[in-house]
Structure 1
Amino acid sequence: MKFESMSLSEIRAYIQSIPLDNYLSLISVLRHDKRKTVRQLAEKLNKELLGYHDELARIEKMKMFEQECYSQGYELVAGIDEVGRGPLAGPVVSAAVILPKDCNILFINDSKKLSIKKREKLYHQIKEEALDIGIGIVDANVIDEINIYQATKVSMALAVKDLRIKPDFLLIDAMKCDNIPISQLPINKGDSKSLSIAAASIIAKVTRDEMMNEYHKELPYYAFDKNKGYGTLEHREGISKRGITNIHRQTFLKNII
């Protein structure tokens, strides 16, 4: 490829056509180009390549707990996480995700650390590549009956039950679920340490956010599309003016109503 005879836009178009793994040989050539703009492009590509390898290393580190399970003879490891323990309204939602052993979806992380756009993109990638995904939903009425801690355990058990493939080991974010008769390991801050738990946190977060967006269409006075049921000022003002709904958690509202 004779880059010296190509325009900068043509070089950019070529770069978009090749995998990032091929950047290294390309960078060494572009660095010797007579044009300053092309040399600057080479340095930009070098930064992207370094960031790519850093991300691969981070993802590999996040597979440590899964790899330990495989080394002990387990084959189907599910990561479990929940979202929605703190809001005043809406369900608590858990997800169980079984990833393939060779999964290398870049940028998977604790859903709270991701932008909405990045989270939704990863949601679709995980849906495409996961061996199986289960969802467990427990509504506000049950949360009021049995408390949020127990409701979270129930939602996790429902997520595992929703799986078509039965896992032989569970990695769970910060909880031990005695109501699930499968070998398991609770991991504190697991959504930032385990790839499968992080994947579950993304699935659960996007699933619950979509539910709250739908509730907003029926109940626009509470701004559920913005606060997802958390106790923001706008949400509290909605409660003051309109009262509570059947998706509000009455046990969470004792100091408000």
Structure 2
Amino acid sequence: MGRPKPIRTSSLDELRARFLEQGEPASPHLIAALRRDPRQGAQTLAEQLSNSRRRALAEERRMLSLLAWEEEHWTRGVVRIAGVDEVGMGPLAGPVVAAAAILHPHDRIDGVNDSKQLDAEERTRLAEIIRSRAVAIGIGEASVEEIGRINILQAGLLAMRRALLALSPEPELVLVDARKIDGLPWPQEARIKADASVHCVACASVVAKVHRDAMMTALDETYPGYGFAQHKGYGTPAHLEALERLGPSPIHRSTFHWGGRQLTLFGS
């Protein structure tokens, strides 16, 4: 591929292709030059490039903030930092799944965020990148039977503990979202909403969500008619209608946590 055509001799279409379609960053100098161009097309392109630049700068600030907690520990010599998060606390069916992720120091997965802020396609893309670049990934689950026996909050902690214990190599430090996980041999630190504000926890959130979604899609074939592939066990109108029509399946939970209370869904 040859060198790009000089900007001063490029047409507006060529500039659009280069800086909008291909994603090359536009300099403030280029945007200012387009603003001085009296053509409407140049003014429109200048506004588009300016908006794109603002979004890119905001995303860069977000990523730097996301990595700040880990960077503090890396500079102190703590290398293997594990982020852990769970998904599936709210559904009516299926297990709780947790993932733990250790990334290489100073590595960053651009675009990663709390899994709830990403669509399914972006989560899948990012999960593949995270798995390919991570030092270690651990997956843990708590079954429907365990959820019913020990309650959903304890099941979430159990799944996270299992995910962390599955890591190889082991972490030196665990970062977790606003809780303390008992039974771990490593120090841990908690932060509220860490899945949206801490890089390794966000990575774990994405991996856990993609893993659980794949499980529920597979379970849709084992227990057809409930729509697990679509709603992943959450209480959508279609899911509630299927429950009314078919009754609970073996992977439906007997209890549900709501407003600080453990409610019975099925059975006595």
**What TM-score does the superposition give when structure 2 sets the normalisation length?**
0.85
Q: Specify whether residues 221 and 185 from structure 1 end up closer, same or farther in structure 2 by C-alpha distance, changes over 3 A only.
A: same
- Separation (CA, whole Å) in 1 of partners of 2:92 and 2:18: 51
1:167 counterpart (156, 166, 171): 171
CA distance in 2, matches of 1:128, 1:75: 18
Code of the residue aligned with 1:197 in structure 2: it is V
1:104 to 2:108 alignment:
yes
- Output the CA distance in 2 between the equivalents of 1:248 and 1:114: 26
Q: Is the 8 A contact 1:81 1:201 kept in 2?
A: yes
Q: C-alpha displacement at 1:70, in angstroms? A: 2.3
Match of 2:194 among 170, 190, 193: 190
**8 Å Cα contact 2:178-2:190 kept in structure 1:** yes
Change (3 A) 1:53 1:101: farther
Distance 2:9 2:65 in 1: 43
Conserved? CA contact 1:169–1:183, under 8 Å:
yes
Bigger mean CA deviation after superposition, 82-91 or 27-36: 27-36
* 1:121 correspondence with 2:125: yes
Structure 1 residues 182 and 242, CA gap change in structure 2 (3 angstroms): same
Partners of 2:191 and 2:144 lie apart in 1 by: 26
Question: Which of 201, 214, 226 lines up with 1:210 in the alignment?
Answer: 214
The 1:140/1:125 distance shift into structure 2, 3 A limit, reads: same
Aligned to 2:137: 133
Asked if the contact 1:82/1:92 (under 8 Å) is kept, the reply is yes
Q: Where does residue 228 of structure 1 map in the other structure?
A: 232
Contact 2:255 2:266 in 1 (8 A): no
Could you tell me which runs of 5 or more consecutive residues in structure 2 were left unpaired when the two chains were aligned: 257-262
2:67 to 53, 63, 70: 63
Identity %: 38
Q: Would the alpha carbon gap of residues 130 and 77 (structure 1) be closer, same or farther in structure 2, given more than 3 Å must change?
A: same
TM-superposed CA distance for 1:2, in Å, is 4.2
State the secondary structure of the residue aligned to 2:163. Answer: helix
User: Per the alignment, in what secondary structure is the counterpart of residue 94 of structure 1?
Assistant: strand
The number of aligned residues is: 256
1:254 and 2:264 equivalent? yes
Report the alpha carbon displacement of residue 106 of structure 1 after superposing the two structures with TM.
3.0
- Bigger drift between 35-44 and 175-184 goes to 35-44
Aligned structure 1 segments of 4 or more residues deviating by more than 6 angstroms:
none
Per the TM alignment, residue 76 of structure 1 is displaced from its structure 2 partner at its CA by 0.9
- The answer for the alignment partner of 1:240 in structure 2 is 244
Equivalent position amino acid for 1:254 in 2? T
Question: Per the alignment, do residues 88 and 128 of structure 1 end up closer, same or farther by CA in structure 2, a change over 3 Å counting?
Answer: same
Secondary structure, counterpart of 1:217 in structure 2: helix
1:19 & 1:184 partners in 2: Cα distance?
A: 41
One-letter amino acid matched to 2:43: R
The AA in structure 2 aligned to 1:87 is P
| Residue-by-residue CA offset, 1:200-237 (whole Å, 9 max, x unaligned) | 11111111111111112332321212321122232222
Unaligned runs of 5+ in 1: none
* Structure holding more helix per residue: 1
Paired with 1:42 and 1:105, the residues of 2 have a C-alpha distance of 29
CA distances 1:71-130 after superposition (whole Å, capped 9, x unpaired):
443111111000011211101000101123323333322211222233233223322332
* Alignment TM-score, normalising by the size of structure 1: 0.88
Distance 2:79 2:180 in 1: 20
Partners of 2:89 and 2:61 in 1: CA distance: 32
Tell me the secondary structure at the aligned position of residue 112 of structure 1: helix
Cα distance, 1:256 vs. partner? 4.8
2:99 to 78, 95, 118: 95
Deviation at 1:254, TM superposition (A): 2.7
Tell me by how many angstroms 1:8 deviates.
Answer: 3.0
Match in the other structure for 1:151: 155
Q: Is the 8 A contact 1:4 1:33 kept in 2?
A: no
RMSD of Structure 2 on Structure 1 (CA): 2.3
